Amino acid sequence: MQGDQLDLLGSLDRSAAQLDSATALLQLLDDWLANGWLRALDRAFAGFLLEQAPETSPAVLLAAALVSHQLGHGHVCLDLAATLSEPDFALSLPPEGESLIDTPLPSAILAGVTLDSWRGALQASRVVDSQLPEQGSCPLVLVGQRLYLRRYWQHERHVVSTLHQRLQHPLQVAGDLPERLDALFAGSQQNPDWQRIACALAARGRFSIITGGPGTGKTTTVVRLLALLQTPAVEAGKPLRIRLAAPTGKAAARLTESIGRQVGALPVAPAVQAAIPTEVSTLHRLLGSLPDSRHFRHHAGNPLALDVLVVDEASMIDLEMMANVLAALPPQARLVLLGDKDQLASVEAGAVLGDLCRRADAGCYSPATVDWLQQVSGQSLAGSGLQPGDESTHLLEQQTAMLRHSHRFGADSGIGELARAVNRCDATAARDLLQRGQFADIHSRRLPDLRDPGFAALVLGSEGGLPGYGAYLSTLQAQRPGADAMADDPCWQAWAGDVLRAFDRFQLLCAVRRGDWGVEGINQRVADLLSRRGLLHADKLWYEGRPVLVTRNDYSLGLMNGDIGIALRIREPALHAGEPETEALRVAFPRNDGKGGIRFVLPSRLPEVETVFAMTVHKSQGSEFEHAVLVLPEARNPVLTKELVYTAITRASKHFSLLESRPGVFEAAVQTPVRRISGLDLGAAAN
């Protein structure tokens, strides 16, 4: 075995000494770790393999460290060919905000390595399964040119096989489905009505996807879908057990609020309305997360007690969570995924919704599906521009509906036009839209640095009447309750609510965390700017007006990852009768339960929080702001993709601004679609 390894290693046409010995390779990984280019976990994994199998070649150790690194960047596996074609950019090295230093990059190490030689070294290693991996137990699995950690290879296989089984066994629909659709969609002027089509498709499947951009009516559609499913069940005296979930607390809170408003307006009997839940939980809470563990209380051996599960903001679901959801789902239950396929994927490894919706734009409905849809929904799909498909290779597409009409961004919306140009990777059209001045709701500004007066004008909202942070600070001071307002006076709640709503009108969105143009640098600069103007006194950790973002769920406080609060000085009741009331600093959060109201929390009781004058685009998913500003870094970066730009643009409801310091960065981002490397393809499974 060892001799074979040495022969294969010798076949590597290499130009880097680090591939000559395991010791030299580990030293390189130590250098990458010191530079912040690798995680400690990545380096430790390579070291662990060498301890378990001392004969492991440097080429295999390097691949092991890189596949672990890829997981940290959202990739399910390491694509060997893609890595060799562009090693540094494919691996996001060096990381954001870092300048090059005197340390060999992957491109130097892999300069002479061929795909065949690298695969050969992996195939010969006893820490890699490449033949019949389902029968092995090695920590690494090689499938073609993709290298996996075994656990993620198992997750991917489980998701593919489970969904394929669900898709192969559609459900029977009631004969009165057309009449029920007519009642739910009476008065619709759309033709075809994609919401109606989506409900029809979902009614017949154990697994369905409803995707669409902002304002296309995803929540409206799913509420009507639940009414469609629940009405006959209630009439039969056996109401369906329906659960609603979302990947994050913020997304769950927003869906709770939205559904709560819509259920009461459904044209169905009160008993049906009462049987449609309005409370949305996080996926972790739904599955029963076990402390200090990756496991959940609900799994294949203890499935969830439900008949229908709807998961909103499905673009944020990672591969491992998807596998856990499917494992805990009873075989007879329905699963409906709801989300925007074009948004950023999850922070964790995998882009499940994006992978599953590869062909959603094209439709790829079989003739049988088209005929059935036209018969049941009463909608003609002729002239819709959909590409034909067949059930043998497009099984998933028969249960995927894409909502195509935006009620928020019409033909007169610059935000909508810009988002569509970015989605097409058309950088020229996107730049032209920003510069032409045809639309009053999109803006662009280039600043040499953040000391430019234009940045202060943008932040304060003193430029062109666009909302800025001056609005919430003005509200904070001008509407503060008077000295005679007692602690129990509702005016404190009303004031806090007004301040929070004013703050939510404007948000700076950054592509990266580090550097002058990242979240950390922007947050500090804005705090300093507002302090110099006398609008804040940010001379200590907690100060009135400080906006904070919750970064960890706290169910005891009812606060979720992504919630935003503002520190305010309010009147507190006296501890003892006869004593005077006092003033205290509390952090005000909206309740996000659809009923309004504010909760005040002691700063010391809060879970992990960070100042949020600026947030990453990732953190903004599920949120909406009247004026959203995308701040681009000074140089091209692997995190800059058209999905990131699209997500930032679509956070804006009325105005979007692009802030950049160097030419070409925006264009490069728009022309770079994200590629989350994975093997998740149900089309392949169908063959």
Binding-site annotation: residue ranges for ATP:
212-219
Please name every residue paired with 506 in a beta bridge, in sequence order, or none if there are none.
627
The values of phi and psi at residue 661, to 5°, are -110, -20
Q: Which residues contact 103 (CB under 8 A, 6 or more apart)?
A: 31, 32, 35, 37
Q: Is 547 exposed, middle or buried (0-12, 13-18, 19+ CB in 10 A)?
A: buried
Q: Which residues contact 578 (CB under 8 A, 6 or more apart)?
A: none
Look up residue 512 and give its amino acid.
V
If you search the block for the tokens 């856990």, which residue do you land on?
Answer: 324
Q: How many CB atoms lie within 10 A of CB 570?
A: 20
**572-583 in b/e burial notation, b at 16+ Cβ within 10 A?**
eeeeeeeeeeee
Helix, strand, coil distribution of the chain in percent, nearest 5? 40, 15, 45
DSSP code of 611?
E
Please name every residue paired with 280 in a beta bridge, in sequence order, or none if there are none.
244
CB 333 within 8 A of CB 304: yes
Look up residue 47 and give its amino acid.
G
CA 392 – CA 376 distance, rounded (Å): 23
Look up residue 193 and give its amino acid.
D
Distance, CA of 192 to chain centre: 29
What is the β-pairing status of strands 598-601 and 582-590? antiparallel
SS3 508: strand
Q: Say if residue 178 is preceded by a cis peptide, omega within 30 of 0.
A: no
The H or E element spanning position 405 is none
Which one, of 201, 161, 212, lies nearest residue 315 by Cα?
A: 212
Q: Nearest-5° angle of CA 512, CA 513, CA 517?
A: 70
CA 499 – CA 504 distance, rounded (Å): 9
